[in-house]
């Protein structure tokens, strides 16, 4: 299976599928496809639906099967980028709701941080998704992407929501922003995410919640 990612920031993923190949993708992602490609919707059972509900994914995934060779194009849900990861080489931990598509051999499961504090205060950092198995996964990135390589013990302080993905060798924790004035007037919230190496970290420049808040300020609001 060959693929092409283009048209950033309104990014699309085009898969050139040979007969017999198949992929699974997020509900509503298909933009256009060849007539020889067939769709089948699967829920993964009650357990799979429960996991998807927790992380905010669609309750069902669409599986596309190439009955004959053709193309399938998937569109990103918001402005940004699409990254391809070879899960056969290394598993990936990514933000929830980032899943766009994967080959059938890729397994997806919930990834929980080690410390409870991360769960209550970490925002995107608590409930993440782990991709393992074999094959390729294509993930949605909000805005542009920056890749950082951290050495053993090297740390990066990141505002909540800007962590798109990381290798499983990295660990994540939460740090409280110090100083009353910093919290009240700094505009950065109460907590930062601390990622510790070794491993790669992929950062996104415009988390979808930050984009929504920026647009909200320009929208007309009904008078009370």
Q: Is residue 132 over pLDDT 50?
A: yes
Domain covering 2-216: architecture: 4-Layer Sandwich (3.60)
Task: Give the Å distances, CA to CA, from 180 to 86, 89, 121, 175, 185.
Answer: 44, 45, 18, 15, 8
pLDDT band at 44, cuts 50/70/90?
Answer: low
Average pLDDT over residues 199-208: 91
| For the chain, domain boundaries | 2-216
pTM of the model: 0.82
Rounded Cα gap, residues 128 and 107, in angstroms: 14
Q: Could you report the per-residue pLDDT of 68-105, keeping only the tens digit for each? A: 999 999 999 888 999 999 999 999 999 988 999 999 99
In this prediction, residue 123 has a pLDDT band, given cuts at 50, 70 and 90, of very low
DSSP state of 221: -
The mean-pLDDT minimum among 46-60, 86-100, 119-133, 197-211 falls in 46-60
Mean per-residue pLDDT over the chain, rounded: 83
What pLDDT shows up at residue 186?
44
Regarding predicted confidence, which is higher, 36 or 214?
36
More confident residue, 24 or 184: 24
């Amino acid at each position: 299976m060959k693929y092409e990612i283009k048209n950033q920031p309104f990014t699309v993923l085009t898969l050139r599928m040979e007969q017999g190949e198949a992929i699974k993708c997020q509900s509503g992602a298909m933009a256009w496809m060849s007539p020889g490609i067939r769709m089948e919707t699967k829920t993964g059972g009650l357990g799979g639906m429960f996991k998807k509900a927790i992380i905010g994914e669609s309750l069902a995934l669409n599986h596309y099967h190439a009955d004959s060779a053709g193309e399938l194009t998937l569109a990103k849900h918001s402005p940004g980028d699409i990254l391809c990861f070879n899960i056969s080489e290394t598993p990936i931990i990514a933000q929830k709701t980032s899943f766009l598509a994967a080959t059938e051999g890729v397994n997806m499961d919930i990834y929980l941080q080690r410390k409870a504090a991360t769960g209550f205060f970490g925002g995107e950092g608590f409930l993440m998704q782990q991709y393992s198995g074999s094959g390729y996964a294509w993930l949605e990135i909000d805005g542009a992407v920056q890749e950082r390589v951290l050495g053993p013990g090297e740390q990066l302080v990141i505002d909540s929501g800007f962590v798109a993905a990381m290798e499983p060798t990295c660990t994540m924790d939460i740090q409280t922003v110090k100083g009353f004035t910093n919290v009240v007037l700094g505009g950065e919230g109460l907590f930062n995410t601390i990622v510790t190496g070794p491993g790669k970290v992929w950062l996104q420049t415009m988390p979808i919640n930050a984009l929504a808040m920026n647009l909200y300020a320009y929208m007309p609001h009904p008078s009370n």
